[in-house]
Every structure is written in structure tokens, then in C-alpha cells.
Amino acid sequence: MNLSLTIDQGNSSAKVSVFSGTTLLQSHRFERLAPGDLDLVMAGHAVTAAIYSSVVGNDSQIEELLSAKGVRTYMLDERLPMPLAIDYATPSTLGHDRIAAAVGALTLVPGRDCLVVDAGTAVTYDYVTADAHFKGGNIAPGLSLRFQALASHCVQLPRVDVGGDIPTVGYDTPTAIRSGVVLGLVAEIEMLARRLGSPAIVLTGGDSPLVADRISDNVIVDNDLVAKGLNRILEYNEIL
């Protein structure tokens, strides 16, 4: 059975996933992907094709390992053909993870406009139309950066994290900060969705479970969204 491999190197960790067709078989996360890690993931798997996406620059050792194993490898950048038209003024500055998440959302919700929200270190909001056009998006600080900014720049405010009560209105300073940060992100998502005409909201990223249940609209949460999008881009290039 021929398998495909997706490599998503983000700012703080890397995710390697193995697919059989469109079926996700397994995923592994590493702080920073090393050739030995990739070798272990591929052991026992007949991987014939791979796609490599990195927001921190490609690792030549990873590329060399894939080449040595005879794996057809596609490097994700703005020049790679993909099932998505990018209507973005500066496609070379568009994050690879944002492209992959957009393709993944269209795979999950075909025929609908999508607001794709990746709630990680930064929060990215990307608008993709039903006819597969990436129209653009916004970038904002993630939850951890918001907590950190308040503690760093407001002398009398304590450092707070997401663990704890999140009431609609805070009843003390920690809950006021926690609710302001978390519910502020929820409000951003809901406001943008309304302004875009109520597209499908697709959430991914480490903080997505925290906000998903608090959004008044129906949402789709898929923390494998980027991997699924990468796999779809790989499939698209394999049949060209």
C-alpha cells in the first residue's frame, strides 16, 4: 500500500502525518523535527510521496533524507500548483500553514464559503470562498501572547493563564483578565463571521477547543486541518 507523508514545521513544533489516500493513519508531534525522528515515523511504511511545509525555513537534512529514500517530495510555497486560487497581494509572504489550512477547510466543507481560524501562538483568520479563492485574512496575537502582554505592560496586573473560571463578567482580577482575553477572541471570531456573511467557521490550533464551545454559531473543529490540507495539495500535484 502506497502511503503519503505530510510535514508541517510550525513556529513551536513540527507535525508529521501519514496518510493512505485521504485517510489519516497516524500523526506525530516534535518540538523540532530531526532526520532521526522522520526516519522513525517512516519505518515500516511504504511512503512514496511527501509534502514539506515550514514557516521557519526548510531543513536541508530533511530534504536529503527524503531524497535518499526515493520519496517524491513537494516543497510548499507560492509556486507549487494547488487546488486554490490565491487572491493575495503578496503571496510570497503568505504563511504556508495558512494556505494548507484553507485547502483543508474546503475539503471538509465543500461548496461553502469558509472562515478558517487557526488559534495558536498567533491567531490567523482566513476567508476562502466556495469557488476555492483565498481572499485574504487577518493576524492577531494568540491567547498566550495576550496574557503575556497584559502582565508585561500593566504593572498591577498579575500573570494569568487559561486554567480557571471564565465567567461572562469577571468577579475578580484573574477572572476579569481570563474572560477578557478568551471571550475577546470569541467575539473577534463571531464579529468577523457576521461581517463576511456567516460563512462556515472552521477552527484549528492548540487553543481551538477553548473557544469553540463559546462561539454562538456552529463551528467545525479539526486539529488535523493543516495536515489534511497538505495531503490534498500533495494529491493535486500527484495527478498533474
So what's the pLDDT on residue 223? Answer: 93
The Cβ of residue 213 has, within 10 Å, a number of other Cβ atoms equal to 9
pLDDT at 151: 96
CA angle 186, 93, 97 (to 5 degrees): 50
Grid cell of 228 as nine digits: 489534511
pLDDT tens-digit profile of 39-95?
Answer: 999 998 899 999 999 988 888 999 999 999 999 999 998 889 999 999 999 999 999
pLDDT attached to residue 219: 95
Report helix, strand or coil for 18.
Answer: strand
Q: Of 97, 113, 126, 207, which residue is the catalytic one?
A: 97
Question: What is the pLDDT at residue 208?
Answer: 95
Annotation says 97 is catalytic: yes
Q: Name all domains of the chain by residue range, CATH numbers in brackets.
A: 1-75 (3.30.420.40), 78-240 (3.30.420.40)
Give the per-residue pLDDT at 61: 92
Polymer length in residues for the chain: 240
The pLDDT value recorded for residue 231 is 98
Residues 149 and 129 sit within 8 Å (Cβ to Cβ): no
Q: What is the pLDDT of residue 57?
A: 82
Q: Which residues of the chain have pLDDT under 50?
A: none
Torsion region of 235: left, alpha or beta (phi above 0 gives left; psi -120 to 50 gives alpha) = alpha
**pTM to 2 decimals?**
0.92
